[in-house]
Structure 1
């Protein structure tokens, strides 16, 4: 039987080999790894570095620079709350505090039951409908405390 780490490496090598010939392949490779695994497994970083002939530090720097890449699996649902100025000016800070309280987690945390991961995002492009959020890729404008409570209950099911 193949170990989990060996399985991850084999699947990652397939993705890397498929995309390494593209121009500027690092971001597409990271994107596909996250799509495949739900995060970018740490053990894939040296594989990427070797295939692209760059240092592991360069790969790690890109993974940690972009907030959308995760180094661990997310919950079944991902709730992103906009932290940009327009949303903050429309009550986003209070909603962020409420979300953390309702879910019992902080930014980048996942509830103990694995139901939801809470992430900050800096602008969803819904400034005219601030404050905004995104739940599992679906944008939500004009977020308020009542809607946030409904979302928190929904993702905990």
Structure 2
């Protein structure tokens, strides 16, 4: 177990204790762990499994089945590219290829500087302004490869300002 996970496991234990008595507690527990920590640490799986009287394989199976669960810490910023039909019709496939090339990662990957995690999403509800991306909590429409580069440059400058 890593030192980081030793600090996170008490948070996981608190979440499990508070939710384990709910019917179908596994998904609420996993969502709350990810909401609080940003991901589900692999060392949390045995704790969750034991508390719910399930196998580690059961817990891992649920985590790996749902694409929104992460098992590694995300970057400082999350960039989600919409892959719904309306966005695809307006160029989202080219945009996602550009995003992967620009960031040097595939979906669910984080840039080497730990600044940006690239995710896919299947509708941002911004169909009239396709293709769309969400950066952290902000939805941006009519994103071209050039606009994407501008948005990423802005994220990088924000990181430099903090340093």
Q: Secondary structure at the match of 2:22?
A: coil
In the TM superposition, what is the alpha-carbon distance from 1:21 to its structure 2 partner?
Answer: 1.7
Q: Secondary structure at the match of 1:21?
A: coil
5 Å-filtered alignment, 1:50-89, equals 50-89=50-89
Root-mean-square deviation over aligned CA pairs: 1.7
In the TM superposition, what is the alpha-carbon distance from 1:3 to its structure 2 partner?
Answer: 4.0
Please say if residues 79 and 118 of structure 1, whose CA atoms lie closer than 8 Å, have aligned partners that are also in contact.
Answer: yes
Please say if residues 99 and 152 of structure 1, whose CA atoms lie closer than 8 Å, have aligned partners that are also in contact.
Answer: no
Please say if residues 82 and 92 of structure 1, whose CA atoms lie closer than 8 Å, have aligned partners that are also in contact.
Answer: yes
5 Å-filtered alignment, 1:106-121, equals 106-121=106-121
Instruction: Give 2:161's aligned residue.
Output: none
Structure 2 residue ranges without an equivalent (≥5)? 158-163
Normalising by structure 2, report the TM-score: 0.87
Report the Cα distance in structure 2 between the residues aligned to 1:113 and 1:132, rounded to whole angstroms. Answer: 24
Please say if residues 103 and 111 of structure 1, whose CA atoms lie closer than 8 Å, have aligned partners that are also in contact.
Answer: yes
In the TM superposition, what is the alpha-carbon distance from 1:106 to its structure 2 partner?
Answer: 2.0
- Shift of the 55–110 alpha-carbon distance from structure 1 to 2, 3 Å rule, reads same
Please say if residues 40 and 69 of structure 2, whose CA atoms lie closer than 8 Å, have aligned partners that are also in contact.
Answer: yes
Report the Cα distance in structure 2 between the residues aligned to 1:57 and 1:126, rounded to whole angstroms. Answer: 37
5 Å-filtered alignment, 1:1-157, equals 3-157=3-157
Report the Cα distance in structure 2 between the residues aligned to 1:137 and 1:62, rounded to whole angstroms. Answer: 26
In the TM superposition, what is the alpha-carbon distance from 1:64 to its structure 2 partner?
Answer: 1.0
Report the Cα distance in structure 2 between the residues aligned to 1:64 and 1:138, rounded to whole angstroms. Answer: 27
Report the Cα distance in structure 2 between the residues aligned to 1:123 and 1:101, rounded to whole angstroms. Answer: 22
Q: Secondary structure at the match of 1:42?
A: coil
Range with greater deviation from structure 2 (40-49 or 116-125): 116-125
Normalising by structure 1, report the TM-score: 0.90
Please say if residues 5 and 41 of structure 2, whose CA atoms lie closer than 8 Å, have aligned partners that are also in contact.
Answer: no
